[in-house]
């Protein structure tokens, strides 16, 4: 059940001129987070964040949903001081073994086993870790508002990802609510992320439409059928315009992992062998399971694992590949590897082939990748996405022909194979895209104005 703090009563549009307020929406994401603000003009703007020297751009519209703890930097009570977002990545890259990096907190909200993490002998609950990121977002918003922030509309996926398939939405929302409260936000309402994207798209309309919103985040792909346009404002509760929602735990991070697993990991020894006890044995596959997330590659840097890999290298069918694997681990190059993967994915969204290049002396990997290969690697995920959309249409009794528009947003909406699912089903002329990384934050801010600006 979606939880909000809305009071009962008849909806009335916010009066920005009288309120003299700024309304804030927070998109706390699996990989990236963003903050939108609606001011007296009624238009949303996105809060910028320092890039910490990680790219040529000084600022970015998104904050990486990551925290780094450096062993050497602690407060007066001995607790390690957190560095959030791009600053955390920079600290991790510069500090090596003395720095712990954590990410993808959102994907653990459904787990009753993940209650806390121990960082340099200090316990941090999952709620506290999320609160650290949210507090950074709150401070950024307060810098724009020039006043304390107590009310927020925050995004949530339609379906939280649960490994056991159980319905754990209420549990996940309770934990997320507690995290926001620990971050100093007293009044919070949650909105489905694709509905927030719908509010963003609605600003372009001068007529009513039935719209399928497809929001592709880092951890989930979420869908919403909704009636948008001027007529929605006349409803007693504008959310009555929602026809149905659906979601699946597949998105951009999954696509990146498939490129690494299928196209890149073999250059570091995956699917090769080594000779031991007069037998040819496969290099242990669990090693490459750590390639699922770039910062997990660093977890292989234990003394016992490195000794095992050096022993394997001496008897390997491709010792040079194990040598490159050791270099990748020892020089903490996981982040750089995934940056190259992301660049290849973007290039394949723009062309039919590219050359993946990872060049960090002494390791160089160069491999041509075609769009057809990439689409083959992610074909099971594409099928799941298409099935989820079909299920939504069927469950709501909505024929594809009754959908006036499809609005796609989020990074993976740029992947041609993802776009093709909707072009085939609804016709390319009815498919639109935009606001790939800011539509949800902007829409959440519009919802905040709608909810908190009444009167």
- Mean pLDDT, the chain, rounded, equals 88
In a domain, 79, yes or no: yes
Min mean pLDDT across 42-46, 88-92, 174-178, 237-241 is at: 237-241
What is the number of alpha carbons within 13 Å of residue 328 lying toward its C-beta? 32
Strand partners, 405: 211
Give me the domain span that covers residue 141: 16-207+436-452
pLDDT digits over 316-330, tens only?
A: 999 999 999 999 999
In a domain, 8, yes or no: no
- Whether the per-residue pLDDT at 440 is higher than 70: the answer is yes
**Residue holding tokens 């020894």?**
269
- Mean pLDDT, range 233-237, rounded to an integer: 76
pLDDT digits over 97-139, tens only?
A: 678 888 888 888 998 888 888 888 899 999 999 999 999 999 9
The proportion of the chain whose per-residue pLDDT surpasses 70, expressed as a percent, equals 93
- Looking up residue 171, the CATH number of its domain turns out to be 3.30.420.40
**Distance between CA atoms of 81 and 72, rounded to whole angstroms?**
9
**Distance between CA atoms of 73 and 335, rounded to whole angstroms?**
22
The number of domains in the chain is: 1
Q: Which of 288, 325, 294 is nearest to 310 (CA)?
A: 325
- Residue 227 confidence class, pLDDT cut points 50, 70, 90: very high
In a domain, 128, yes or no: yes
- Mean pLDDT, range 167-175, rounded to an integer: 88
pLDDT digits over 321-380, tens only?
A: 999 999 999 988 888 899 899 999 999 999 999 999 999 989 999 999 999 999 999 999
In a domain, 267, yes or no: no
The proportion of the chain whose per-residue pLDDT surpasses 90, expressed as a percent, equals 63
In a domain, 133, yes or no: yes
Q: Which of 81, 39, 34 is nearest to 62 (CA)?
A: 34
In a domain, 315, yes or no: no
- Mean pLDDT, range 251-276, rounded to an integer: 94
In a domain, 1, yes or no: no
At 28 the pLDDT is 96
In a domain, 290, yes or no: no
């Amino acid at each position: 059940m979606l939880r909000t703090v809305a009071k009962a009563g008849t909806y009335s549009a916010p009066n920005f001129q009288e309120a003299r307020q700024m309304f804030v929406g927070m998109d706390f994401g699996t990989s990236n987070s963003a903050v939108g603000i609606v001011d007296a003009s009624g238009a949303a703007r996105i809060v910028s964040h320092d890039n910490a020297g990680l790219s040529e751009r000084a600022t970015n519209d998104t904050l990486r949903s990551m925290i780094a703890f450096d062993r050497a930097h602690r407060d007066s009570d001995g607790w390690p001081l957190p560095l959030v977002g791009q600053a955390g990545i920079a600290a991790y890259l510069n500090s090596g073994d003395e720095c712990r990096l954590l990410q993808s907190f959102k994907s653990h909200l459904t787990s009753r086993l993940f209650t806390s993490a121990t960082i340099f002998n200090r316990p941090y609950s999952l709620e506290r870790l999320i609160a650290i990121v949210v507090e950074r977002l709150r401070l950024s918003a307060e810098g724009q508002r020039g006043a304390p922030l107590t009310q927020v509309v925050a995004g949530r996926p339609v379906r939280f990802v649960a490994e056991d398939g159980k319905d754990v939405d209420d549990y996940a929302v309770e934990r997320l609510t507690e995290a926001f409260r620990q971050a100093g936000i007293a009044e919070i309402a949650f909105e489905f992320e694709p509905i927030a994207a719908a509010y963003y798209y609605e600003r372009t309309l001068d007529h009513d439409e039935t719209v399928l919103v497809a929001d592709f985040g880092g951890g989930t792909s979420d869908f919403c059928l909704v009636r948008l346009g001027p007529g929605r404002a006349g409803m007693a509760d504008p959310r009555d315009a929602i026809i149905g929602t659906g979601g699946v735990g597949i998105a951009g991070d999954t696509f990146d992992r498939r490129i690494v697993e299928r196209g890149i990991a073999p250059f570091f020894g995956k699917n090769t062998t080594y000779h031991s006890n007069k037998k040819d044995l496969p290099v242990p596959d669990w090693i490459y399971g750590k390639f699922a997330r770039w910062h997990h590659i660093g977890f292989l840097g234990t003394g016992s694992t490195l000794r095992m890999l050096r022993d394997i290298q001496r008897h390997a069918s491709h010792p040079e590949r194990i040598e490159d694997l050791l270099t990748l681990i020892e020089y903490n190059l996981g982040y750089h590897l995934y940056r190259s993967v992301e660049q290849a994915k973007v290039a394949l969204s723009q062309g039919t082939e590219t050359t993946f290049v990872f060049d960090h002396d002494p390791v160089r990997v160069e491999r041509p990748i075609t769009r057809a290969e990439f689409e083959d690697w992610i074909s099971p995920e594409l099928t799941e996405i298409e099935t989820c959309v079909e299920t939504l249409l069927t469950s709501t009794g909505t024929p594809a022909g009754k959908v006036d528009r499809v609005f796609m947003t989020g990074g993976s909406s740029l992947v041609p194979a993802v776009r093709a699912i909707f072009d085939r089903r609804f016709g390319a002329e009815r498919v639109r895209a935009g606001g790939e990384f800011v539509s949800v934050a902007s829409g959440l801010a519009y919802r905040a104005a709608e909810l908190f600006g009444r009167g």
